[in-house]
Structure 1
């Protein structure tokens, strides 16, 4: 197994588009090492500190063929961004706070142990609800520039293996009833965001969405509003399968754009 991406002879295999999913090479400088072996483009399947981030259905059309390394952002950003896009486009979001109730992941501990700077992150994943940080909400400001500085959030890591859920609480400038918001989400799910944003009025729980291909599944029955300008929205996502589908969609979109030049 080759650990140095620069030493992988991609040109010999015919591979042109590489998915960098080790979680190690997440900056442009590190990920572009794949290009030395003959790769043409690299998609980082994680957030990146400096690589351009693209979220399908939100800002993928800003991709240009001269960009060699891109990030598909995080699974949580892929869930939140379509939700935020609808709210901002329709009602002008003033500000918002997000919490993701997130299934545990491979970076967590199976039993209590040391965890460097994140003491709580060292507790047993399958036995605790663990407050954690996430850059997913702030990252939305990178893919929707008009929301930059208007969103932040946190995570709660919970003892489930898969499927997570976003809670977005926001203030909107243009007043709307919760019924109006439901209608807007449903229309978006059947229109410009079809396949990215889904809509349900079923009484679902997390296990029902394992294997769901959408980035974000708006739960119409779970949200609430305090008034026409302050609302809490709930949207689910399969943080493994749904995200993987978007990686492939981004690859396909990039190849289409690149092929046109």
Structure 2
């Protein structure tokens, strides 16, 4: 039996369930970066947190990589980048509240798995889905204003 939680519904139930919900990010990325069109799929689970979200990306790359190579590439991408951060500290969603980054790559969550002759690389990034979003929007508006 499935129970639907609606706005103004039972508070207790909303604190004890994790409802899945569609996420349009996978499709949206394809609109911005046409080479990725149809290659990403997004899913979301709504959890009772104040703010703060996490994204996991599982990739099949053209060549095999090591954890050090992935982390070095992410560290270099974050160096001097006001939109993308990097951490090697174990963090949770509340740690990124108020972060100005669009996302913060979490090196502690990197996983590389071999399956059926294919290497799967799982990367994780945290973001403040309110403040971080607004900060990114301001950056875009500033670019248009120039």
TM-score (norm 1): 0.50
Q: Matches of 1:165 and 1:156 in 2, distance apart? A: 10
Instruction: Choose between structure 1 and 2 for higher RCO, CA contacts under 8 A separated by at least 6 residues.
Output: 2
Q: Matches of 1:197 and 1:249 in 2, distance apart? A: 13
Corresponding residue to 2:17 among 128, 132, 136: 128
Corresponding residue to 2:111 among 224, 229, 232: 224
Partner of 1:55: none
Corresponding residue to 1:198 among 85, 100, 106: 85
How many residue pairs were aligned? 137
Which structure is larger by alpha-carbon Rg, 1 or 2?
1
Corresponding residue to 1:233 among 113, 123, 132: 123
Runs of 4+ in 1 over 4 A off after TM superposition: none
Partner of 2:145: 255
Corresponding residue to 2:7 among 105, 109, 112: 109
Question: What is the root-mean-square deviation in Å for CA atoms of aligned residues?
Answer: 1.8
Question: Per the alignment, in what secondary structure is the counterpart of residue 239 of structure 1?
Answer: coil
Correspondence 1:42-191 to 2 at 5 A: 109-112=7-10, 125-191=14-80
User: What displacement does 1:232 show?
Assistant: 0.8
Any gaps of 5 or more consecutive residues in structure 1? 1-107, 113-122, 257-261
User: What displacement does 1:124 show?
Assistant: 5.0
TM-score (norm 2): 0.87
Q: Matches of 1:221 and 1:109 in 2, distance apart? A: 36
Question: Per the alignment, in what secondary structure is the counterpart of residue 217 of structure 1?
Answer: strand
